[in-house]
Amino acid sequence: MRSLISLILNVIWLLTAGWALFLGYVVAGLLACLLIVTIPFGLASLRIAGFVIWPFGREVVDTGRVSAVGALGNVIWFVVAGWWLALGHVATALAQAITIIGLPLAWANLKLIPVTCFPFGKEIVDSDDARARMLPTAR
Protein backbone atom coordinates (compact mmCIF):
# COMPACT_ATOMS: atom_id res chain seq x y z
CA MET A 1 0.00 0.00 0.00
CA ARG A 2 2.85 2.35 0.87
CA SER A 3 4.43 1.86 -2.56
CA LEU A 4 1.12 2.63 -4.32
CA ILE A 5 0.77 5.88 -2.38
CA SER A 6 4.39 6.73 -3.15
CA LEU A 7 3.77 6.05 -6.84
CA ILE A 8 0.70 8.29 -6.92
CA LEU A 9 2.48 11.09 -5.04
CA ASN A 10 5.54 10.78 -7.31
CA VAL A 11 3.39 11.09 -10.44
CA ILE A 12 1.60 14.16 -9.06
CA TRP A 13 4.98 15.57 -7.99
CA LEU A 14 6.47 14.95 -11.41
CA LEU A 15 3.61 16.76 -13.14
CA THR A 16 3.51 19.75 -10.79
CA ALA A 17 7.06 20.57 -9.73
CA GLY A 18 9.39 17.61 -10.16
CA TRP A 19 10.22 18.08 -13.82
CA ALA A 20 11.14 21.76 -13.41
CA LEU A 21 13.27 21.14 -10.31
CA PHE A 22 14.91 18.16 -12.01
CA LEU A 23 15.82 20.21 -15.09
CA GLY A 24 17.23 22.99 -12.90
CA TYR A 25 19.49 20.62 -11.00
CA VAL A 26 20.60 18.83 -14.19
CA VAL A 27 21.50 22.09 -15.96
CA ALA A 28 23.38 23.33 -12.87
CA GLY A 29 25.17 19.97 -12.59
CA LEU A 30 26.21 19.93 -16.22
CA LEU A 31 27.45 23.52 -16.03
CA ALA A 32 29.44 22.73 -12.91
CA CYS A 33 31.02 19.73 -14.64
CA LEU A 34 32.51 21.98 -17.33
CA LEU A 35 35.42 22.92 -15.07
CA ILE A 36 37.52 20.23 -13.44
CA VAL A 37 37.59 22.03 -10.10
CA THR A 38 33.79 22.13 -9.85
CA ILE A 39 33.08 18.53 -10.89
CA PRO A 40 32.25 17.46 -7.29
CA PHE A 41 29.59 20.19 -7.19
CA GLY A 42 28.23 19.03 -10.53
CA LEU A 43 28.03 15.45 -9.33
CA ALA A 44 26.28 16.58 -6.15
CA SER A 45 23.76 18.52 -8.22
CA LEU A 46 23.12 15.53 -10.48
CA ARG A 47 22.68 13.30 -7.42
CA ILE A 48 20.09 15.72 -6.03
CA ALA A 49 18.39 15.80 -9.46
CA GLY A 50 17.90 12.04 -9.24
CA PHE A 51 16.21 12.48 -5.88
CA VAL A 52 14.15 15.51 -6.91
CA ILE A 53 12.56 13.74 -9.88
CA TRP A 54 11.09 10.92 -7.73
CA PRO A 55 11.32 11.80 -3.99
CA PHE A 56 8.57 9.74 -2.39
CA GLY A 57 9.73 6.40 -1.04
CA ARG A 58 13.28 7.71 -0.58
CA GLU A 59 14.98 9.74 2.12
CA VAL A 60 18.19 11.63 2.72
CA VAL A 61 20.34 10.33 5.56
CA ASP A 62 23.47 11.76 7.08
CA THR A 63 26.43 9.47 6.45
CA GLY A 64 28.37 10.91 9.36
CA ARG A 65 31.57 10.73 7.31
CA VAL A 66 32.08 14.15 5.81
CA SER A 67 35.73 15.08 5.49
CA ALA A 68 37.26 18.53 5.98
CA VAL A 69 37.20 18.93 2.19
CA GLY A 70 33.52 17.93 2.14
CA ALA A 71 32.74 20.42 4.92
CA LEU A 72 34.51 23.16 2.95
CA GLY A 73 32.57 22.05 -0.14
CA ASN A 74 29.32 22.36 1.83
CA VAL A 75 30.21 25.93 2.84
CA ILE A 76 31.10 26.91 -0.73
CA TRP A 77 27.97 25.18 -2.08
CA PHE A 78 25.75 26.96 0.47
CA VAL A 79 27.19 30.40 -0.34
CA VAL A 80 27.08 29.93 -4.12
CA ALA A 81 23.91 27.89 -4.66
CA GLY A 82 22.40 26.32 -1.55
CA TRP A 83 20.60 29.28 -0.06
CA TRP A 84 18.81 30.30 -3.27
CA LEU A 85 17.89 26.71 -4.06
CA ALA A 86 16.41 26.42 -0.57
CA LEU A 87 14.40 29.60 -1.20
CA GLY A 88 13.11 28.05 -4.42
CA HIS A 89 11.98 24.98 -2.52
CA VAL A 90 10.24 27.13 0.11
CA ALA A 91 8.45 29.14 -2.60
CA THR A 92 7.38 25.96 -4.39
CA ALA A 93 6.21 24.45 -1.09
CA LEU A 94 4.10 27.51 -0.34
CA ALA A 95 2.46 27.29 -3.76
CA GLN A 96 1.80 23.56 -3.34
CA ALA A 97 0.43 23.94 0.20
CA ILE A 98 -2.56 25.93 -1.05
CA THR A 99 -4.53 22.73 -1.68
CA ILE A 100 -4.99 19.68 0.51
CA ILE A 101 -3.59 17.43 -2.22
CA GLY A 102 -0.52 19.63 -2.38
CA LEU A 103 0.34 19.35 1.33
CA PRO A 104 2.42 16.14 1.00
CA LEU A 105 4.16 17.70 -1.99
CA ALA A 106 4.94 20.82 0.02
CA TRP A 107 6.34 18.65 2.80
CA ALA A 108 8.54 16.82 0.29
CA ASN A 109 9.86 20.17 -0.93
CA LEU A 110 10.77 21.14 2.61
CA LYS A 111 12.47 17.75 3.15
CA LEU A 112 14.74 18.56 0.19
CA ILE A 113 16.20 21.64 1.87
CA PRO A 114 18.90 19.92 4.00
CA VAL A 115 20.42 18.11 1.01
CA THR A 116 19.98 21.21 -1.12
CA CYS A 117 21.94 23.34 1.34
CA PHE A 118 24.62 20.82 2.35
CA PRO A 119 24.88 17.91 -0.13
CA PHE A 120 28.26 16.50 0.90
CA GLY A 121 28.06 13.85 3.61
CA LYS A 122 24.49 12.90 2.70
CA GLU A 123 23.18 9.77 1.03
CA ILE A 124 19.85 9.07 -0.66
CA VAL A 125 18.33 5.74 0.34
CA ASP A 126 15.01 3.94 0.11
CA SER A 127 12.70 4.84 2.98
CA ASP A 128 12.69 1.23 4.17
CA ASP A 129 16.50 1.26 4.35
CA ALA A 130 16.43 4.53 6.29
CA ARG A 131 13.99 3.05 8.80
CA ALA A 132 16.13 -0.09 9.15
CA ARG A 133 19.17 2.04 9.96
CA MET A 134 17.30 3.73 12.78
CA LEU A 135 16.09 0.51 14.42
CA PRO A 136 18.19 -0.79 17.30
CA THR A 137 19.99 -4.01 16.43
CA ALA A 138 18.76 -7.16 18.12
CA ARG A 139 21.38 -8.91 20.21
d(CA 62, CA 58): 13
45 has pLDDT over 80: yes
Rounded to an integer, what is the distance from CA 65 to the centroid of its chain?
18
pLDDT category at 137 given cuts 50, 70, 90 is: very low
List strand residue ranges (DSSP E) for the chain, in order: 58-62, 122-126
Q: Which residues does residue 124 pair with via DSSP β-bridges, in sequence order?
A: 60
Q: Across the chain, what does the average pLDDT equal?
A: 88
d(CA 134, CA 85): 28
57, 130 contact by CB (below 8 A): no
Mean pLDDT across the stretch 53-76?
Answer: 90
d(CA 127, CA 133): 10
pLDDT at site 139: 40
130 has pLDDT over 70: no
In sequence order, the 6+-apart residues with CB closer than 8 A to the CB of 48 are 25, 112, 115, 116, 119
